[in-house]
Structure formats: C-alpha cells, structure tokens
Amino acid sequence: MKISARNVLKGTVKSITLGGVEAEVVIELPGGSEIVSVITKHSADSLELVVGRTVYAVIKASDVMIGEPHSQKP
C-alpha cells in the first residue's frame, strides 16, 4: 500500500464507542498517549476493528490542529 501521508502512528485499539452512524475509536500509542478518531460504523466494520487490535493511524499534516490550554486569570 502506498500513501502520501507522512505521519503514521502505530497503536492498539483501546475502545470503540458506537453511535448512530459513527464509531469513536480510541487508539493507545506506545508510551501511553492516546488519539481519538471518529469514523463511520461501516469503516469500523470493514476494518474489522476490535479492542486490542494493532492498527496504524494515518494523519495528514493539513488535518492537524494545535491549541493551547485555557489560562485562568488570577
């Protein structure tokens, strides 16, 4: 498989929460960090996602948002 995205993270499916048409998939990365992806239930079924399965998250740089935590005013 060839892809143009350069950011590929290997992890393990930690949880899958099914909604009406979507599935929220939590992926645990080595070191304990987590990422969350919302995909269609159809995609989750097609990928045969189950808790404990090793997966690769492919992230296009243009889809990443970075923010700062809210600071509390004294």
Look up the CATH number of the domain holding residue 25: 2.40.50.100
Q: How many domains does the chain have?
A: 1
Q: What is the pLDDT of residue 65?
A: 77
Residue 30 is classified by DSSP as T
Q: Within a domain: residue 2?
A: no
- Examine residue 66 and state whether it is found in any structural domain, yes or no: no
pLDDT along the chain (74 residues), means of 10: 79 96 96 94 96 93 79 67
Question: What is residue 56's predicted lDDT score, i.e. its pLDDT?
Answer: 93
70 in a domain, yes or no?
no
The pTM score is 0.79
Whose tokens are 């992230």? That residue is 59
Would you say the C-alpha torsion 39, 31, 58, 1 has a positive or negative sign? negative
How much is the pLDDT for 74? Answer: 61
> What local confidence, expressed as pLDDT, does residue 67 receive?
80
Please name the residue that has the structure tokens 């090793």.
Answer: 54
65, part of any domain = no
What is the token pair recorded at 68?
């700062």
Domain that holds residue 34: 7-60
